[in-house]
Amino acid sequence: MRRPRIEPVVWQPPKVAGRPTKGTLPPLTVVQVNGFGTEDVLVDKGNVFTGVDDGRILRLTQDGRRLDTIADTGGRPLGIEAYPDGRLLVCDSDRGLLLVERVSGDLEVLVESGPDLRVCNNAAVAADGTVYFTDSTSRFDLRYWKADLLEHRGTGRLLRRDPDGSVETLLEGLHFANGVALATDESAVVVAQTGLYQLDKVHLTGDRQGRREVLVAGLPGFPDNIATGSDGLIWIAMASPRVLALDISSRLHPALRKAVWALPDALQPKEKRVVWARAVDFATGETVHDFHGTSPDFHMVTGVREVAGTVYLGSLDERAIARFDMP
């Protein structure tokens, strides 16, 4: 399939703030699954849920001994959340925002994919069923996510779907809008901008209601999905450290990035093989935990959940789920 054209803009990547702490990754337990690209992970009622690239939603027991297929979206499931009525909320880049029955596998489409929802990526759910979710880009399908990073036009959005079915845009102009996390008291929502190395917060209550602020800037890597942990922190799946060639080319004439995009996949800049999860304070954005290292069996963390001191990881580029216990 022919790649879409890109029209890059010149921009200045922010300076790196807070480089990774080396050698801090605890021993990993890696569990293989029958499917590629475990983009996100959800831990709920003693089970681990993930979606894979052939459309299946998988349920894995915590001991890793049993793997069941509970549904097939017919698309590409990405973010997965627990919905208040017991169903799973699934962000599907091909189908849109979905609800999935855990037993029957029946699907309900809440927001259909189309011109107004190009890449439904990740979400967070309030107690009343309000859903905060991202549309990563209006320019490219998911398979061309690298094109959006190279182009850097900022067409992603953070949206809210109310229980009555109405949908509102909270933020726009985001650079590959990705993970979403909701404060435990639902006073604020945070969204990751993968292409800007940044987390942004929108206040939902109080005197600052509706205001936007930068929570974390200048991340040393690409933030992917994010989630509020049982510890109240924002856990960030860091897919890869920054790619120096990409940052340098961003400052130069757009023709250079067009030439990079025209190269065969084997010659394009590649993400580095790391396992990386970082946790920051919801109020201040200060780094609280930074687990960074390498593993021969796992890399490219795109989904993360912390539950009672255990951190679960998903990967867009693996046939596995991983976990580690915090020291």
- CATH, residue 313: 2.120.10.30
Name 188's Cβ contacts closer than 8 Å, sequence gap at least 6. 182, 201, 202, 203, 204, 205, 282
pLDDT of residue 291: 97
The verdict on residue 180 lying in a domain is yes
Q: pTM value?
A: 0.97
The verdict on residue 23 lying in a domain is no
| 203 pLDDT more than 80 | yes
The verdict on residue 119 lying in a domain is yes
pLDDT of residue 205: 96
Name the pLDDT band for 214 (thresholds 50, 70, 90). Answer: very high
Q: Which residues pair with 133 in a beta bridge?
A: 123, 159
Nearest Cα neighbor of 285 from 176, 178, 197, 169 is 197
Domain residue limits at 117: 29-325
Nearest Cα neighbor of 132 from 194, 188, 173 is 188
Name the pLDDT band for 274 (thresholds 50, 70, 90). Answer: very high
In this prediction, residues 212-226 reach a mean pLDDT of 97
Name the pLDDT band for 235 (thresholds 50, 70, 90). Answer: very high
Indicate the range of 42-46, 87-91, 138-142, 238-242 predicted with least confidence. Answer: 42-46
pLDDT of residue 182: 98
The verdict on residue 8 lying in a domain is no
CA 19 to chain centre: 20
